[in-house]
Amino acid sequence: MKKILLCAASALVLAGCATGPVGMKGASLEHFPSANQDSRAQFLILHYTVLDYPGSVRALTQAGRGVSAHYLVRDEPALVYQLVDENRRSWHAGNSYWAGNQNLNSASIGIEIVNLGWKDAPEGRVYAPFPQAQIDEVIRLAKDIQARHKILPERVLGHADIAPGRKQDPGPMFPWKQLFDAGIIPWPDAAQVAEKKTFFEANGLPDAAWAQDKLARFGYNISHSGQWDDGTRDVIQTFQMKYRPAKYDGALDAETAALIDVATTKGGMLMAPQAEPAKK
C-alpha cells in the first residue's frame, strides 16, 4: 500500500513508479533530481531578418536554408511565432563569441525580428525602423524568456555583439534603451558618463591598446594589436550602435571612451528601478 501511495504522489514526475523510465538494454532507471543544474539557455540573442515577413518565414523554416531561430516577431501585425522548441538548439548565432563563450547556438535562445535591415543610399547606409508595437512584443517575449531561464541581464545581446563586423543586427535603429527601461539589460550610468566625457575632452583620448583591453573585458572578441585596425573599429561601431546610436562611425571620441570606461568600471552599469506590483 505504501508503494502505491508513493507512486500516485509522484505520478507527475515519474513515467511509472514500479519500473521508472526504461534505459539501455531495458534497464530500470530511477529518477533522482539534482539541485546542481540550470537552464541550457544562458544567453538571449536578438537579430533582424533583413527580409519581409513571408521571406523571413521561408528563410527560417525551409530545409536547406541552414538558419533558424526559436522565435520570430512579425512587424505588421506585431505577432510572435515559435519556430523551434526552447529545449532544442536553433541555428541562429553561427560563429560567435562573448566573454569567453564560443559558438553560442548551444547555449542561447534566438529571437529574429522582421526588419529589412539596411540599404545603401546616396547619404550613406540607411537602417529600417522598428514599429513600436513590434518592440513591445520583443520586450514582452524577452522578459518572459529571461525570467523563466534566469538569463543574466548582461547576457541579453545582439547578433552584432557576438559577431562584430560580420553582423550588424539588430542595428542602430533597435531601441536598446527601451530594454533597459523595461529592466531587461543594464545601461551605463549617465552621470558617470558625463563626468568621464569631460575628463577625456580635457586630457585627451586613450590609445588603441586601452580600448582593446576595455572592450575585451566587456565581452567582445577583439584583437590586442595596439593598433586602430579594422576589427577594433568594427567592435567600437557595434558598441556605439547599442549605447550611442546617434553616431556610430567606429572612431573613439570622448563620449565613446566615456561609455566604454563606465561600462567596464564596477558600479558603472545600472539596472532601471522597476515599479512594485500593485497590492490587491
Per residue in 203-252, pLDDT (tens digit) is 999 999 999 999 999 999 999 999 999 999 999 999 999 999 999 999 99
Beta carbons within 8 Å of 175's beta carbon, 6+ residues apart: 130, 135
pLDDT, mean over the chain: 90
Average pLDDT over residues 2-7: 35
Q: Among 8-17, 67-76, 96-105, 114-123, which stretch is predicted with the lowest mean pLDDT?
A: 8-17
CB–CB of 93/162 below 8 Å?
yes
In the CATH hierarchy, which fold is given to the domain comprising 188-265? Muramoyl-pentapeptide Carboxypeptidase; domain 1 (1.10.101)
pLDDT of 213 reads 98
Can you give the length of the chain in residues?
280
Average pLDDT over residues 66-76: 97
Compute the radius of gyration of the chain from its Cα atoms. Answer: 23
**pLDDT score of 32 more than 90:** no
For the chain, the domains span 43-186, 188-265
User: For residue 199, what are the CA distances in angstroms to 187, 239, 251, 262, 268?
Assistant: 20, 20, 18, 12, 16
Beta carbons within 8 Å of 9's beta carbon, 6+ residues apart: none
Tell me the one-letter amino acid at 203: N
pLDDT of 219 reads 98
**Domain 43-186 class in CATH:** alpha beta
pLDDT of 30 reads 80
> Catalytic: which of 30, 112, 154, 195?
112
pLDDT of 18 reads 39
Tell me the DSSP string of 38-102. --S--EEEEEE-SB-HHHHHHHHHSTTS----SEEE-SSS--EEE-S-TTS--S-S-S-EETTEE
**pLDDT score of 53 more than 80:** yes
- pTM value is 0.87
Cα–Cα distance between 113 and 118 in angstroms, integer? 14
Model confidence band, residue 127 (pLDDT cutoffs 50, 70, 90):
very high
Query: Would you call 112 a catalytic residue per the annotation?
Result: yes
pLDDT of 25 reads 58
